[in-house]
């Protein structure tokens, strides 16, 4: 598993935040389940979210990590 801070990829973080803001009220709390569901639906990437992680921190298996980095770096 690769730990990824999604905020370290500004193009991705902007795209993700824009989509989330269309989905819910921007002041609402977003759960780890929501992030997992949206990442799969919008980007085809499976992530694991730890409840103790910081905002924007997820874990990806090698295949998903490689696809993510190639697209958003």
Per-residue pLDDT of the chain (73 residues), as tens digits, is 999 999 999 999 999 989 988 888 777 777 888 889 999 999 999 999 887 667 789 999 999 999 999 999 9
Q: Report the C-alpha gap between 22 and 61 in whole angstroms.
A: 28
Residue 14, token pair as written in the block: 């902007």
What is the predicted pLDDT for the residue at 52? 67
């Amino acid at each position: 598993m690769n730990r990824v801070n999604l905020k370290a990829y500004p193009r991705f973080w902007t795209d993700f935040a824009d989509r989330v803001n269309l989905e819910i009220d921007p002041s609402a709390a977003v759960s780890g389940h929501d992030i997992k569901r949206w990442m799969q639906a919008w980007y085809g990437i499976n992530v694991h979210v730890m409840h103790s992680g910081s905002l924007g921190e997820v874990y990806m298996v090698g295949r998903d990590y490689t696809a993510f980095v190639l697209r958003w770096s």
